[in-house]
């Protein structure tokens, strides 16, 4: 197979893709075209994984009762999180929109199968968390692939992970890595929403490297 030529034009486009990847919380209700989600998941499966274990497991959440359970889960976790702030920070937190569950046409739970026999245990016997890290890489690959297709992804992390597992009736050996809202964003922006709303600026020098 001939090695592709990743020229300057491609590299510039890749930089733009990384710059415009946003955690989307405001979605249109427009459904994705037939076959697009399958294509995005195929691309997500190109992510690297420890020992070639490919431990990611995708659960497409479509049942209204299951979606409501996750929505209620978020509401409870969000209320608890708010109690951890006070003063101006609490008021700012209360006004943030932290998920897109109500409007996103696709809701996708991503799990790591921590008892998989795929890969024969290579690379994660001493660091079992590598299986979860591999699933995280699949989420990031999905995120970039979606962005390249004009689709947005929002990662909902304000959840009780064990309750999500129970609601979706998945095996005990699966660990929740991400709950993703996927759809077309209402607007495009290369600035993180949390920066625009005054929650947290990006660090001017985020590349912190220690030498030993």
Domains of the chain, residue spans = 23-196
- As assigned by CATH, the class of the 23-196 domain is alpha beta
* pLDDT tens series, the chain, 212 aa: 899 999 999 999 999 999 999 999 999 999 999 999 999 999 999 999 999 999 999 999 999 999 999 999 999 999 999 999 999 999 999 888 877 899 999 999 999 999 999 999 999 999 999 999 999 999 999 999 999 999 999 999 999 999 999 999 999 999 999 999 999 999 988 888 888 878 888 887 788 888 99
Confidence (pLDDT) at 199: 84
Predicted pLDDT at 179: 98
Closest CA to 100 of 164, 158, 161: 158
Give the pLDDT of residue 189: 86
């Amino acid at each position: 197979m001939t090695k592709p030529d990743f020229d300057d034009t491609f590299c510039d486009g890749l930089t733009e893709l990384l710059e415009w990847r946003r955690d989307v919380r405001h979605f249109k209700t427009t459904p994705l075209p037939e076959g697009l989600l399958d294509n995005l998941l195929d691309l997500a499966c190109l992510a690297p994984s420890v020992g070639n274990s490919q431990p990611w497991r995708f659960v497409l959440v479509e049942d209204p009762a299951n979606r409501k359970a996750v929505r209620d889960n978020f509401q409870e976790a969000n209320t608890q999180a708010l109690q951890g702030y006070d003063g101006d920070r609490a008021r700012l937190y209360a006004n943030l929109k932290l998920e897109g569950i109500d409007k996103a046409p696709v809701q996708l739970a991503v799990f790591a199968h921590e008892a998989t026999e795929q890969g024969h245990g290579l690379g994660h016997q001493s660091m079992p968390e590598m299986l979860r890290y591999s699933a995280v890489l699949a989420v990031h690959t999905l995120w970039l692939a979606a962005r390249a297709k004009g689709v947005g992804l929002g990662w909902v992390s304000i959840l009780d992970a064990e309750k999500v597992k129970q609601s979706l009736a998945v095996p005990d050996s699966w660990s929740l890595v991400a709950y993703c809202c996927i759809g077309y964003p209402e607007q495009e922006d290369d600035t993180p929403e949390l920066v625009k709303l005054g929650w947290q600026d990006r660090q001017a020098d985020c590349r912190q490297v220690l030498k030993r």
